[in-house]
């Protein structure tokens, strides 16, 4: 079932006080852009973890399947099961965050492809295949230098463990880059060298997985093609974002655009005198008579508290400041520039309006975080509307 209640509309403004509009066609265009960059010889897995970065995993998965995607990637078994139960039955689903003991039955029941992160897990998945009578396919993750999930076992230890397992099928070998956008660092080249050394040792032992994959959006965008292999994992790019690079990086080859617009409605508009205090703690004092608007969205909806007295929204086509401390359910904004808006009218929190725009990267810079965090923090009570 859907994680978020959803509505599918075309032109009618949805009757919600806070909502996001998700463009199916823009997600499709972004997916096509990734495929065009990597070429026909490389499979593209659509990363729909974290409910497709807040865009809605079920609906995004449907769009990707319509575009011919054969692989989806999630973080957990639970996320994968939600997709299967929501009718996403055909594609392979790669569970990148591995599995815990109580999740093994679900791997079998829902035909999932787990990522294995240790020699012990490799043996466990082989035992699961034997007990279930099914040839479970899995991908083995190598910790090539990020220090998170993935095995640090030597290539010889991996070969020995694989030789001792006969029921589960090693379908893929993978790793994850820690600094793909940082061209001042040699870490990506070092990780790739380590990964390739493991691949060569396995190949010498006659172990040749169908898929090798190391690259996500950043390595795709900046043309680190030596890491594309047979499969890439596109996440952030599907939703319209490529993180900026550091150092002497090539121009991004990916031409993508945000697929999500976030809006909230005004609950009230009022005039305040000079000197009036606004919000908890009176952190903003009106320097002059001001017209203010109170939005029906706050930090419980995903507007970062750190945007208090710092962030902006778009009202009547113009960027305008957030005033005072953001509340759980409400945010106050400056409407001194317009008399056109009243209760019930929409204000844009993320997206474009008139000649003004705010994307997740711009908001993240002000909030002191990253664009992924902005998108993933839009809460479940913000209604998703697909257009």
Residue showing tokens 């009243």: 342
**CA 93 – CA 140 distance, rounded (Å):** 15
Tell me the per-residue pLDDT of 308-346, one tens digit each, with 9 for 90 and over.
999 999 999 999 999 999 999 999 999 999 999 999 999
- Phi, psi angle pair for 7, to nearest 5°: -135, 145
Alpha helices in 242-358 (DSSP H): none
Of residues 4, 8, 49, 194, which has the active-site annotation? 49
- 232: pLDDT strictly greater than 70: yes
Q: What percentage of the chain exceeds 70 in pLDDT?
A: 97
- Give Cα 25 to chain centroid, integer Å: 18
Sorting pLDDT into bands at 50, 70 and 90, what band is 2? very low
- 47: pLDDT strictly greater than 50: yes
Alpha carbon dihedral 212, 217, 219, 222, in 10-degree steps, equals 140
SS (H, E, C) 48-84: CHHHHHCCCHHHHHHHHHHCCCCEEEECCHHHHHHHH
Tell me the per-residue pLDDT of 91-105, one tens digit each, with 9 for 90 and over.
999 999 999 999 999
* 49 in catalytic set: yes
- 185: pLDDT strictly greater than 60: yes
Local structure of residue 228 (DSSP, 8 states): T
- 3: pLDDT strictly greater than 50: no
Joined together, the tokens standing for residue 77 give 């078994």
Tell me the per-residue pLDDT of 111-122, one tens digit each, with 9 for 90 and over.
999 999 999 999
Tell me the per-residue pLDDT of 247-294, one tens digit each, with 9 for 90 and over.
999 999 999 999 999 999 999 999 999 999 999 999 999 999 999 999
Cα distances from 254 to residues 32, 86, 243, in angstroms, run 10, 31, 11
What's the whole-number mean pLDDT along residues 299-304?
98
**CA 163 – CA 300 distance, rounded (Å):** 51
Q: 3-state class of 311 per DSSP? A: coil
**CA 251 – CA 258 distance, rounded (Å):** 19
**CA 67 – CA 34 distance, rounded (Å):** 12
Residues near 15 by beta carbon (within 8 Å), at least 6 away in sequence: none
Q: What per-residue confidence (pLDDT) applies to 4?
A: 45
**CA 294 – CA 8 distance, rounded (Å):** 27
Task: Assess contact for 293 and 346: CB atoms under 8 A.
Answer: no
SS3 content of the chain, % helix, strand, coil (to 5): 30, 25, 45
**213 DSSP β-pair partners:** 174
Domains recognised in the chain with CATH numbers = 24-239 (3.20.20.10), 260-386 (2.40.37.10)
Angle at 52 (CA atoms; ends 178, 24), nearest 5 degrees: 125
Sign of CA pseudo-dihedral 228, 233, 238, 239 = negative
Q: What is the H or E stretch that residue 244 is in? A: none
- 10: pLDDT strictly greater than 70: no
What's the whole-number mean pLDDT along residues 189-210?
97
Q: What is the H or E stretch that residue 182 is in? A: none
What's the whole-number mean pLDDT along residues 196-209?
97
Tally the residues of the chain.
387
- Phi, psi angle pair for 159, to nearest 5°: -60, -45
**313 DSSP β-pair partners:** 320
* 270 in catalytic set: no
- 7: pLDDT strictly greater than 70: no
Question: For residue 319, which of 373, 274, 363 has the smallest C-alpha distance?
Answer: 363
Of residues 222, 239, 280, 386, which has the active-site annotation? 280
- 150: pLDDT strictly greater than 60: yes
Joined together, the tokens standing for residue 67 give 């575009």
- Phi, psi angle pair for 23, to nearest 5°: -90, 115
Q: 3-state class of 356 per DSSP? A: strand
- 1: pLDDT strictly greater than 60: no
**CA 215 – CA 326 distance, rounded (Å):** 38
């Amino acid at each position: 079932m859907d994680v978020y209640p959803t509505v599918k509309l075309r032109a009618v403004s949805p009757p919600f006080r806070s909502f996001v509009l998700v463009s199916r066609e823009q997600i499709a265009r972004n997916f096509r852009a990734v495929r065009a960059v990597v070429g026909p010889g490389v499979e593209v897995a659509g990363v729909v973890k974290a409910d497709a970065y807040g865009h809605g995993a079920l609906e995004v998965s449907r769009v990707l399947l319509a575009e011919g995607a054969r692989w989806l990637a999630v973080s957990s078994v639970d996320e994968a099961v939600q997709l299967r139960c929501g009718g996403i039955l055909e594609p392979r689903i790669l569970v990148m965050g591995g599995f815990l003991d109580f999740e093994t039955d679900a791997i079998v029941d829902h035909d999932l492809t787990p990522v294995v992160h240790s020699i012990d897990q490799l043996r466990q998945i082989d035992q699961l295949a034997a007990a279930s009578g099914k040839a479970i396919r899995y991908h083995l993750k190598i910790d090539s230098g990020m220090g998170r999930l993935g095995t640090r076992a030597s290539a010889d230890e991996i070969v020995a463990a694989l030789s001792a397992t006969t029921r589960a099928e090693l379908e893929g070998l993978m790793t994850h880059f820690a600094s793909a956008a940082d061209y001042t660092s040699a870490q990506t080249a070092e990780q790739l060298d380590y990964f390739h050394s493991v691949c060569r040792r396995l190949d010498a032992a006659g172990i040749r997985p169908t898929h090798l994959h190391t690259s996500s959006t950043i390595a795709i965008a900046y043309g680190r093609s030596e890491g594309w292999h047979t499969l890439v994992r596109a996440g952030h790019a599907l939703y319209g974002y490529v993180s900026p690079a550091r150092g002497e990086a090539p121009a991004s080859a990916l031409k993508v655009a945000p697929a999500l617009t976030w809006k909230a409605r005004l609950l009230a508009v009022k005039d305040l005198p000079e000197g009036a205090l606004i919000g908890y703690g009176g952190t903003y004092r009106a320097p002059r008579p001001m017209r203010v608007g109170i939005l029906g969205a706050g930090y419980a909806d995903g507007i970062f508290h750190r945007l208090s007295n710092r962030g902006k929204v778009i009202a009547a086509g113009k960027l305008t400041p957030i005033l005072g401390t953001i509340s759980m359910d409400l945010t106050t904004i400056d409407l001194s520039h317009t008399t056109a808006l009243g209760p019930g009218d929409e204000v844009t929190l993320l997206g474009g309006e008139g000649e003004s725009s705010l994307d997740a990267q711009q908001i993240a810079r002000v909030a002191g975080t990253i664009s992924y965090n902005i998108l993933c923090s839009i809460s479940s009570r913000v209604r998703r509307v697909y257009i």
